[in-house]
Chain A
Amino acid sequence: MSDTPASQTKKQPVGYVVGGGLKENLRVRLTASPQSVQEGAFVVIDSKNWRFYGLVTDLQLGATDPRFADEQSEGRLSPELADLLLGQTLYTNLEVMPQLMMDRGPEPDSPQYLEWARAHADQETRPLAVKTIPAHHAHVRMADAGDIAEVFGEPGKDGNFVIGYTREQNHPICIDLDKMVQRSSGIFGATGTGKSFLTRIILAGLIKRDKASILVFDMHNEYGLDDTASDTGESVKGLRSRFGASKVQVVGLGSGTTIRGQTPDYHLVIGEKDILPEDIEMLTHELNLKDTTPTTLEALHRSFGNDWFNAFKKMNTNGRIKDEEGKSIPAPGSVDEWATESGVNVMAAEGLRSKLGRVFDRSYIMENPAANTLKEIIIALQKGRHIVLSFGNFETDLDYLLVTNLITRRIREEWEKMTDEFRSKKGTEPRPLAIVVEEAHKLLNREMAFQTTFSTIARELRKYYVTLLVIDQRPSQIYDEVMSQLGTRITGWLGDDSDIAAVLSGLAAKDSLRGMLSRLQPKEEVLMLGWSMPMPMLVRTRRYDDRFWQDLLGKENKGTAEEILKNLGW
């Protein structure tokens, strides 16, 4: 049981394979100090022509005979003898989950290498999903920066974006942003685990990469303009502050809305004609609507067309009056009058009118808005701008559900139209769009998933260039079918078993990853898995600070005044 720290033994093995397999993971006898290797460590195993990449999923203490572990020999034998005894009879085994393998050819100094290199001269060797296992006694070592670049890509190259570092050795780990936006993704973690900061980092990377437009439904007004961190009290730079209004536009919901005292680039006001009956049906749970609502709404739309919302709003609830003959008739302009004429249940219509009062009151819904800002948002996204829609003071679930679904429905229509035109060779290729949805479980839970456009996007709209980035702290509340469509999953610490199970659903190695996920550090540590990551990886996320912006934007970003002074030696 040598005490050599693994960090000091660059390229030196930390152990050797003693057993295991693909199903039950590999067992590796650790020859370095147990404290030098941690759960989630990225290790490399060379065995003949193949190089295997794996994750440490467990560490276990063992003994050749349990009695050696039970008895404290140190007191009964000389220190030298005790050291010898413990070194040979007590050991630590690593459980390594093999993930990838790569043909590395014979040893470079062997005669066969030249022949192999010649045969593979025009083939790029890429890591493949693991299909076999290394031999007994194959040496295991910690991955170095080169190995990590081999698997996760070189920082700064193509769409590779440094999202964090390995826990032990601080090697940068990249995520392929281009791949990430090709499918829907999810960022999960309990409250306070740094989801918002991680989302900012990823959004900044996506905006800088500029391969897709981003629409952020910013329910808590965090992403667009500068903010103050709730835990540290430090200033947090917003995306528009750093990228400028030419790239990122902040849209405030409602006329005259300010975001923490700052004026957004423009305001979103929704025309009453833009609201369709299905937008209201989606609020069934929120407004406690009855089963009769769809029938009533359909009748309204049949009677008034796209003006149904305005017409219904203007109806009074005066009930019935008596005519000249003393006969009870519906009051003019009342719900009763319309319902009676349209053959709709009067009580149901009056009940709906009453419950829709909360929607009629929303100041961001106007009969004739001065500008069609909804259209402006769509055009901006089509042109490659990025939009952060801040909800300002409209922070209720009603606002969030109504507005997000309404906009997303329009987006779906537009992008489907553009894609169809492109495929029929009549138009240009649509700009890919990623919609960022906070508190996703409100829109994608089991009850809502069937009604909202979001579930359709998650399931089908990849083909129409639209994907979702869902952010949530309760992934178990999101509908299974939607979860299964999330290509890339990035998750911080989760305390609830059902949430952990939801994040890992559909993954072959979920049993191995479950323990790792439950033991993540409460902050700045995430498990990344899925489509844009070649293999699951535990990542210490980078900090969202001035250094991050300096790395991302280069020299043009001079950093804070404090940093400049510090760099000058003050």
Chain B
Amino acid sequence: MNQTLQIGRLLRASTTSCVVGCKVTQREAPALGSLVRIPIDSQTGISIYGMISDIHVDDDGLVRQLVTAEGVSDEVILDNRNNRNVPLEISVIFCGHETGGKVSHLLPPRPPLTLDQIFLCTEEEVFAFTLPPRFGYFRHLLRANDIPVGEILASHLQQTAPIHQQKGNPGWGREAGRELITALRDDYPVLIDVLRALADAGLLSDVIAARSGGEL
């Protein structure tokens, strides 16, 4: 994840979220909870940061025919996937933006425009954006409706904690967990949902293991 990977172009957007159209294969598709970056003004250096909250695979006429056909060959399936008429749609919730190298967890000043390019964040970008005590970006996700907040956060923490661990910040996962509990302690159902997702993802157990091994 050290190299910038372009995953698609913008289909539609608002001030809080956008939908990206992709043609990537399943193997290259970005993961739920990943951070993405959308440069919107190369002159002022403004980039929008967002988190993938949904990946939607829509059907088209050919798929509808093939689904019920018998003896569809692997080549046909592969061709259908690579050369789809309808793109893969990735929903992104905006989490912050960067202006002139300064990261902010406020919403972007304006939404991106159609066909703007979307890139997966590099490890350096993820590290810089999520460096504690900067957990303000959680709030954008926590106030979104109709998304599996617990699953998305579990996935995000699962991807991000190892980056911080590598960069000498092993306590990040714990701090993130603490932040989430503080933010959600008055919302018992959501907090328990999030914590169970974190527990299923084995989050923080790495920290425990490292501690018991005397690494911390």
Number of interface residues of B (CB under 8 A): 19
Q: Which of B161-216 contact A (CB under 8 A)?
A: 174, 177-178, 181-182, 185-186, 188, 191, 195-196, 198-199, 202-205, 207-208
Q: Does A67 contact B (CB under 8 A)?
A: yes
Q: Does A81 contact B (CB under 8 A)?
A: yes
CB atoms of A77 and B182 under 8 A apart: no
CB atoms of A84 and B177 under 8 A apart: yes
Q: Which residues of B contact A80 (CB under 8 A)?
A: 174, 177, 204-205, 207-208
Answer whether A78 and B204 are a contact pair too, CB < 8 Å, given A84-B174, A84-B177, A84-B178: yes
Q: Does A68 contact B (CB under 8 A)?
A: yes
Q: Which residues of A contact B181 (CB under 8 A)?
A: 84-85, 88-89
Answer whether A81 and B198 are a contact pair too, CB < 8 Å, given A88-B178, A88-B182: yes
Q: Does A79 contact B (CB under 8 A)?
A: yes
Q: Does A396 contact B (CB under 8 A)?
A: no
- Alpha-carbon distance A302/B165, docked complex (angstroms): 106
Q: Which residues of B contact A428 (CB under 8 A)?
A: none
Q: Which of A170-218 contact B (CB under 8 A)?
A: none
Q: Does A262 contact B (CB under 8 A)?
A: no
Q: Does A555 contact B (CB under 8 A)?
A: no
CB atoms of A78 and B186 under 8 A apart: no
Q: Does A232 contact B (CB under 8 A)?
A: no
CB atoms of B188 and A78 under 8 A apart: no
Mark each residue of chain A from 62 to 90: 1 if its CB lies under 8 Å from any CB of chain B, else 0: 00110110000100111111001100110
Size bin of chain A's contact surface: 10 to 19
Task: Tell me the nearest residue of chain B to A80, going by C-beta.
Answer: B204
- Alpha-carbon distance A76/B174, docked complex (angstroms): 17
CB atoms of A81 and B199 under 8 A apart: yes
CB atoms of A67 and B188 under 8 A apart: yes
Q: Which residues of A contact B177 (CB under 8 A)?
A: 80-81, 84
CB distance from B187 to the nearest CB of A (A): 8
- Alpha-carbon distance A85/B179, docked complex (angstroms): 10
Q: Which residues of B contact A84 (CB under 8 A)?
A: 174, 177-178, 181, 204
CB distance from B100 to the nearest CB of A (A): 36
CB atoms of A81 and B195 under 8 A apart: yes
- Alpha-carbon distance A153/B80, docked complex (angstroms): 90
CB atoms of A64 and B185 under 8 A apart: yes
Report which residue of A64, A80, A89 has the largest number of chain B beta carbons within 10 angstroms of its beta carbon.
Answer: A80
- Alpha-carbon distance A65/B202, docked complex (angstroms): 25
The answer, among B178, B185, B191, B208, for a CB contact under 8 Å with A78, is B208
CB atoms of B204 and A76 under 8 A apart: no
Q: Which residues of A contact B208 (CB under 8 A)?
A: 78-80
Q: Which residues of A contact B202 (CB under 8 A)?
A: 78
CB atoms of B196 and A65 under 8 A apart: no
- Alpha-carbon distance A125/B208, docked complex (angstroms): 52
Task: Tell me the nearest residue of chain B to A88, going by C-beta.
Answer: B181
CB atoms of B185 and A65 under 8 A apart: yes
CB distance from B196 to the nearest CB of A (A): 7
Q: Which of A44-77 contact B (CB under 8 A)?
A: 64-65, 67-68, 73, 76-77
Q: Which residues of B contact A73 (CB under 8 A)?
A: 195
Q: Which residues of B contact A76 (CB under 8 A)?
A: 196, 199
Task: Tell me the nearest residue of chain B to A77, going by C-beta.
Answer: B199
- Alpha-carbon distance A81/B202, docked complex (angstroms): 10
CB distance from A312 to the nearest CB of B (A): 85
- Alpha-carbon distance A358/B205, docked complex (angstroms): 87
CB atoms of A88 and B185 under 8 A apart: yes
- Alpha-carbon distance A73/B204, docked complex (angstroms): 15
5 nearest CB pairs, A to B? A80-B204, A88-B181, A65-B188, A64-B185, A77-B199
* 9 more A-B residue pairs beyond the given contacts A78-B205, A84-B177, A85-B191, with a C-beta to C-beta distance below 8 A: A65-B185, A80-B207, A81-B198, A81-B199, A81-B204, A84-B178, A88-B181, A88-B185, A89-B181
Binding site for B on A (CB under 8 A): 64-65, 67-68, 73, 76-81, 84-85, 88-89
Binding site for A on B (CB under 8 A): 174, 177-178, 181-182, 185-186, 188, 191, 195-196, 198-199, 202-205, 207-208
What are 11 residue pairs bridging A and B, where the CB atoms are less than 8 Å apart in the complex? A65-B188, A68-B185, A68-B188, A77-B199, A78-B202, A79-B208, A84-B174, A85-B181, A88-B185, A89-B181, A89-B185
